[in-house]
Structure 1
Amino acid sequence: MNTATEPRGAADKLLDNPGLTVERLPMLTMIFDRLAQSCAEGIRPYAPAVVSCFVNSISTDHVWDALDAYDGSIAAIFYSSELDARILVGLDRRCVYSLMEVMLGGDAQEAPYDEDRTFSTLEVRVAQTVLEIASEALKSAFGPVIETTFRLERVETRMDFTIMGRRNVLAVIAKILIQAMDIGGQMFVVIPQPALTPIRQKLARDLSSDGSASDPRWLKMMRDGVQKAEVRITGVLDEYEETLGAISEWKIGDVLPLKPSALTRVRFDCKSQALFWCELGQSKGVYTLKVAERVNVEEMPLAQFLKSAAVTEQA
């Protein structure tokens, strides 16, 4: 890190362009939330312990200030041709050491290793694997806003002002905490604001007021999960009412008369909810049920009772 650079004065800051306001770009919050969730899912197969990721903060700052704060970290430079910009994703030293502890089967009983030294080859490879997971997660997170790819250019173990071009350019900085077994560190994402300016209108979209906006991937997962849910279907031929006293006197061998005949339809229930009327039949030596029509819930005894009770109460 070049420490010879003089601090920026108040006049320089006043002459800066105002840039983007994170509070006015609600889609940015959604993007980084999805990034954190996808990173947790991507890292989980590599770690025996449960890994959690969540967004700590999203802010704007100058690139050189952000890089200065993360001196001694490992960072990857990704290039997006769609955004025509380079994006930096990095892991601070504590995060790298914690990931090594978790992935190698440590129990986190000892104090986290925190020595300021050169990263080993294995640590760099582990960090690069996590950063590549982050790039795929970032691609997915940007999906609802813009289809883009992030190509890995190089991995840096020393923060340099020249990594992201001009050192005084404004950037959006997201800090994502990665934790497992009460240890962890921080992932940071630095996106130059000029890369986001062309899609500013899309980032300003408010999902809470847009009923049609949705996450296609989440909807598909939800739909598939619901369709695969196993439920019990019950065929009801007749319902017999009796007092508890009479039921308590039943004994083996007693015969209970049923009203239905061979032409009576069977009702299909699921979780006490009537679904279909079916016709009883036989085929190849087994009983069969042929779906005839949907049950009109309004005609069910309970619905009629509730309706009559409501009329009586109003009267």
Structure 2
Amino acid sequence: MADEDDDDALAAEWEAMAGGEEGGDDGGEDMAAEWESMLGDEDGDDGDDMAAQMGGGSARVLNQDEIDSLLGFDDGSGAGDQSGIQAIINSSMVAYERLPMLEVVFDRLVRMMSTSLRNFTSDNVEVSLDNILSLRFGDYLNSIPLPAMLGVFKAEEWDNYGLLTVDSALIYSIVDVLLGGRRGTAAMRIEGRPYTTIERNLVERMIHVVLGDLSAAFDPLSPVTFRFERLETNPRFATIARHANAAIVAKLRIDMEDRGGRLELLIPYATLEPVRELLLQMFMGEKFGRDSIWENHLANELWQTHVNLLAVLDEQVMALGDVLNLEVGNRLVLNTSPTSPVEVRCGDVPLFKGLMGRKGDRIAIQVRDRARINEEEK
């Protein structure tokens, strides 16, 4: 009986041990489930990255947000705050050459406009130049704040076009000033309606004044006439160049005491191409290495230069074999006479024709006419 009791106790002990091992397996399964839930809460890409790092991966894999940030396509950033590769690409596309003399022209324009607009509005007008930019034409059209008026003008001598943009604040200010609005009151703006005929006519008169000053500003550099073409309110109808073409934009600020607005002048690089060499000057009258003193000295010295002249009595065409067979004592008969004209040459260039004679103990040529260089001059 004792042996049976010992056997039952041993069997019970083995069952208890087996039950403990089964509970351990359940605990291991619970732990594995907990790890899976932890991995499930994290981003799938991050989990893959961790798995790659734990598995000995060679490089970390970027997720989509990091790729967008690197390329500069982040939706959260504004249109003007580009970064990454996109910013590098755009900056290289708009890196155009600088035209120093164009800044001088715009400075003259600001001074002239201050006087002209004072006479035009009979008010105290201050014009200031904010900045000068180089950008693509399509980018500028997309950045125009609407509503606005766009005046298209043509440079007659350069046979190309430019654009003048007047914002809504300046439009209402000009209308208010020209129609006798009282000082100290802000111009009334009515949004959501098209501009009236009176407003368009008044703004067109102001654009004529600005274009006249712009022509006068370019006069010391190159005479040009800017002629007003049309007035548009939709930027699509004011397209004067391809969207990828380069352009210069000068942003002007016009203040009339408590009123005013912005005026922007756009001139494509294609329009400025005829005077590009002049605009590249650092100052007015730059010679680009040309020295007028040296030119005058060289011209004076050329008149004292000695040259060798040849007097040609006659020319004959002979076969090469006949020339090689010539011997001492052979005679060549020339088809000329004492009164035949003689051609005077300098090298291979014929200069004069004259008659052969004698002066003292020397043979001389009396020049009668200039030689004709080619047959077309006959």
Asked if 1 retains the 8 angstrom alpha-carbon contact of 2:94 and 2:135, the reply is: no
- Distance (whole Å) between structure 2 residues aligned to residue 137 and residue 160 of structure 1: 27
Match of 1:180 in 2: 256
TM-aligned CA deviation for residue 162 of structure 1: 5.7
Q: 1:20 is matched with which residue?
A: 97
1:74 aligned to which of 149, 152, 155: 149
Match of 1:62 in 2: 136
**C-alpha contact 1:72 1:159 (8 A) present in aligned 2:** no
Partner of 1:133: 209
Alignment of 1:203-282 (within 5 A): 203-207=279-283
Task: Give distance in 1, aligned partners of 2:250 and 2:91.
Answer: 24
Q: CA deviation at 1:128?
A: 0.3
Point out the structure with the larger helix share: 2
1:111 aligns with 2:175: no
CA distance in 2, matches of 1:17, 1:56: 19
Deviation at 1:178, TM superposition (A): 1.0
The 3 A distance-change label for structure 1 pair 69 and 15 is closer
Change (3 A) 1:140 1:46: closer
Q: 1:148 to 1:208 in 2, by over 3 A?
A: closer
Amino acid across the alignment from 1:140: A
> Under a length normalisation based on structure 1, what TM-score does the superposition of the two structures give?
0.58
Residue type of the partner of 1:13? N
The verdict on how the C-alpha distance between 1:59 and 1:161 changes in structure 2, with shifts beyond 3 A counting, is: farther
Question: Number of residue pairs matched?
Answer: 202
| 1:123 pairs with 2:199 | yes
Q: Secondary structure at the match of 1:106?
A: coil
Distance in 2 between residues matched to 1:42 and 1:130, nearest whole Å: 10
Say which SS state the counterpart of residue 207 (structure 1) adopts: coil
| Structure 1 residue 17: Cα displacement | 6.6
CA RMSD, 1 decimal: 2.7
SS in 2 for 1:55: strand
**Which one scores higher on RCO, CA 8 angstroms, separation ≥ 6?**
1
Match of 1:38 in 2: 112
Does the aligned pair in 1 maintain the 2:241–2:268 contact within 8 Å?
Answer: no
Larger radius of gyration: 2
Give, in whole Å, the separation in 1 of the partners of 2:97 and 2:157: 19
Of residues 127, 142, 146 in structure 1, which corresponds to 2:222?
146
Q: Taking structure 2 as the reference length, what is the TM-score of the superposition?
A: 0.49
Shift of 1:12: 6.2
Residue segments in structure 2 that go unaligned for 5+ positions in a row: 1-78, 287-378
Secondary structure in 1 aligned to 2:135? Answer: strand
Q: Describe the shift of the 1:93–1:14 C-alpha distance in structure 2 as closer, same or farther (beyond 3 A).
A: closer
- Partners of 1:59 and 1:172 within 8 A in 2: yes
The aligned residue for residue 339 of structure 2 is none
Q: Does the Cα contact within 8 Å between 2:125 and 2:254 map onto a contact in 1?
A: yes
